[in-house]
Amino acid sequence: MLRIGSRGRLVVYFVVAFVLILILVFAQLSGNPQTVQAGSTITGALGLLFVLVQLVAQLLDNIQKDKKPSDLAITNALTELETAKRCLEEKQYQLAIDKTTSIIRILPKKGEAYQIRARANAALGKVHSALEDYQKAIELEPGFPFNYSGRAQLLRDIGDYSGAIRDYSKALAVAPELSGSVFPPLYPFQAA
């Protein structure tokens, strides 16, 4: 199917409008009442057709936006998520970022993909991107403590200790049973 971007569509609209105006002008210049009537009728019909084409194009765009990924695409994305985890473990951070970005295109509400990408971005020193991904992961999965603890570690590393304490506290509030063993970086902030 031919896909025309918004700029291309605008050009087509102007060309059609120009042709409609030309038909009317030539019909008027002919001076023949039958030609003027035929020109007006053709222009009206083409104008209606033009509006109909615009409506159909907009409807097709809306349908395309609402299109859900296929079961195969979802299965492949979940398999890729496992591969992205392995890439992260093997310190292939850019590959992990690339894979999770592809996964997010298919499964934009998969918080785990954002968390993996955040960890890879953090490892590469891309602090801003990592913080954005942790934020998205937290929005999607607020009950997952490792999103908070991961962001807390990053905040601690950049010197935002109050932000780190806030996120460590949230992580512990979500999963108090994990205190001490999973969140040891909290201890340097505790009073002696």
What is residue 44's predicted lDDT score, i.e. its pLDDT? 75
Last residue of one domain, picked from the residues 39, 66, 93: 66
On whether both 35 and 47 belong to a single domain, the answer is yes
Q: Which residues form the domain of 169?
A: 142-192
Write the DSSP string, the chain. -----HHHHHHHHHHHHHHHHHHHHHHHHH--HHHHHHHHHHHHHHHHHHHHHHHHHHHHHHHHHHPPPPHHHHHHHHHHHHHHHHHHHTT-HHHHHHHHHHHHHH-TT-HHHHHHHHHHHHHTT-HHHHHHHHHHHHHH-TT-HHHHHHHHHHHHHTT-HHHHHHHHHHHHHH-GGGTTTT-GGGGGGS--
Categorise residue 180: left if φ over 0, alpha if ψ from -120 to 50, beta otherwise: left
On whether both 58 and 81 belong to a single domain, the answer is no
What is residue 10's predicted lDDT score, i.e. its pLDDT? 65
pLDDT (tens digit, 9 = 90+) per residue, 87-111?
A: 999 999 999 999 999 999 999 999 9
Domain count, the chain: 3
Q: What does the alpha-carbon distance between residue 167 and residue 133 come to, in Å, rounded to a whole number? A: 15
**What does the pLDDT average to over 51-72?**
73
**What does the pLDDT average to over 141-155?**
93
On whether both 35 and 52 belong to a single domain, the answer is yes
Q: What does the alpha-carbon distance between residue 103 and residue 124 come to, in Å, rounded to a whole number? A: 20
CATH number at residue 132: 1.25.40.10
On whether both 111 and 157 belong to a single domain, the answer is no
Residue 172 within a domain: yes
